[in-house]
Structure 1
């Protein structure tokens, strides 16, 4: 896996999580106290920095074979979950993820919540909403960056890609002061699901003692093959109409 492919893989995966975190922070800052929202954001970033600082060196000390089995298995779990949902959405069997709907839902909930202060935090609801949103999505960003970087023995590149994705997405969100609904998030999740599934399969097999023809070049066949298989499943599922309940349902609003 080259440095460029590592950067692209981590950037795309982290960008998806950054979009969802940005939507939550924008909703909290718009409906509630902005200073409390920013305090929650920075507290979450501090926690994430501690987690990454502790997790990165710990993973680099694990033998490469064992590390690839663990990392490959975890990536498969994440990748298959994302890919399954992406296939169902693309085939019409699951409502598309809608950042505008998610933003409006978060905004409505934030406006109805009572305002309470704790210590230096003027609005505890805004603080906790921002903190939890950034921390939960940030943990996935940290997991992706640390696992990819550790497996390739190139944590700096993975970290730079993750930070770049967060900065680009957050900067765009602050610039427009609105949810990034125009970002093709459903397509991105499909692509990232394919990539995580491919890398997870590759590393898990290598860690278990398997050898791929052409070494890392096998990814150039494995990842597109998984993508074509997923598109084939979409085509098959489209031939079967979605349930009436889904057709009548509102667009998906929860981050997933």
Structure 2
């Protein structure tokens, strides 16, 4: 059970970050040229590989119980943020994230930088893709390394991220446009709940708690958080509708 959720969490979380990075890479490649976009992407991936190589073994040397307490706490902070934003988007309090809009904005900004000299490396395109891939990749690396170290299954977490990379990259190559058809906000909601679930499970284990049923308690926590999500979103939607109605009456 732990392994299934570990793979799915790594896959879904990585997919979300990779879709966002791919949108920027496509915008730069189509407007500023693929040379700078691909070189920027490759440079960012090289930096990420170095970071993972340096910090992955360090986490592996920490005793398992305190490691799970630390990682569980970090995942709770990380997951609750995603979960909160997803509930606000689902209820209407926060605008839905739209990759088409992001793609259009980045394309306009890239074109405003002027033409690229033939054969020259475009510094703007390189810097933008490097920064975007590095920032999104750091989140993927954090999830993979912390999940893998806490569950003592770094390989399984890496497989999840690798599968996400192949799927997102394959779709990007096929359609050459932002993956707007991917339900990114639904993915973020799911990932937020799953990260919060793992964070709760590992933090409690790190603090010395013993879960009834062992790893199967993860499924129970997931059901509790999913039910809480449904309740919160329903309440927030009613609140948002009531506020909108009062605003219309006042206007």
Q: TM-score range by the shorter chain?
A: over 0.9
Contact 1:71–1:200 under 8 Å retained in 2: yes
Partner of 1:188: 187
Cα distance between partner residues in 2 of 1:160 and 1:199: 18
- Residue 217 of structure 1 corresponds to 216
Q: Distance in 2 between matches of 1:196 and 1:140?
A: 13
Q: Deviations over 1:98-153 (max 9, x none)?
A: 01001001111111124678xx9610000011101100000000110111111111
1:31-58 CA distance string (max 9 Å, x none): 1021011100000010011111111111
Match for residue 142 of structure 1?
A: 141
Equivalent-residue separation in structure 1 for 2:6 and 2:180 (angstroms): 26
**Aligned-partner Cα distance in 1 for 2:146–2:223:** 22
Structure 1 contact 115–124 (Cα < 8 Å) conserved: no
CA RMSD of aligned residues (A): 1.7
Distance in 1, matches of 2:141 and 2:36, equals: 24
SS of equivalent residue, structure 2 residue 182: coil
Structure 1 or 2, whichever has the larger Rg, is: 2
Name stretches of at least 5 consecutive residues in structure 1 with no aligned partner: 248-256
Cα-to-partner distance string for 1:213-253 (whole Å, 9 max, x where unaligned): 11211111111101110110000011112666xx9xxxxxx
Q: Given the superposition, is the C-alpha separation of residues 121 and 142 from structure 1 closer, same or farther in structure 2, using an over 3 Å criterion? A: farther
**Residue aligning to 1:27:** 27
Which residue of 1 is the match for residue 9 of structure 2? Answer: 9
Contact 1:116–1:124 at 8 Å: present in 2 too? no
Q: Does the residue aligned with 1:35 lie in a helix, a strand or coil? A: helix
Aligned twin of 1:231: 230
Given that 1:72 and 1:201 are in contact with CA atoms closer than 8 Å, whether structure 2 keeps it comes out as yes
Runs of 5+ in structure 2 lacking a partner? none
Displaced runs of 4+ in structure 1, greater than 3 A?
114-117
Cα shift readout 1:155-208 (whole Å, capped 9, x = no counterpart): 111111111101210221121000000000011110100000111011111101
Whether contact under 8 Å (1:12, 1:188) holds in the other structure is yes
Q: TM-score, normalised by structure 1?
A: 0.91
Determine if contact 1:99/1:180 at 8 Å carries over to the other structure.
Answer: yes
Shift in Å, 1:3: 2.8
- The answer to whether the 8 Å contact 2:2/2:218 transfers is no
Question: What residue number does 1:72 align with?
Answer: 72
In 2, Cα distance between equivalents of 1:19 and 1:196 = 19
Cα deviation digits, residues 70-99 of structure 1 (max 9, x gap): 110110111100000000000011110101
Contact 2:14 2:164 in 1 (8 A): yes
Give the equivalent residue in structure 2 for 1:253.
none
Indicate if the aligned counterparts of 1:81 and 1:193 stay in contact, CA closer than 8 A. yes
Alpha-carbon separation, structure 1, partners of 2:2 and 2:214: 12
- Distance in 1 between the 2:173 and 2:106 partners? 17
Q: Distance in 1 between matches of 2:115 and 2:80?
A: 40
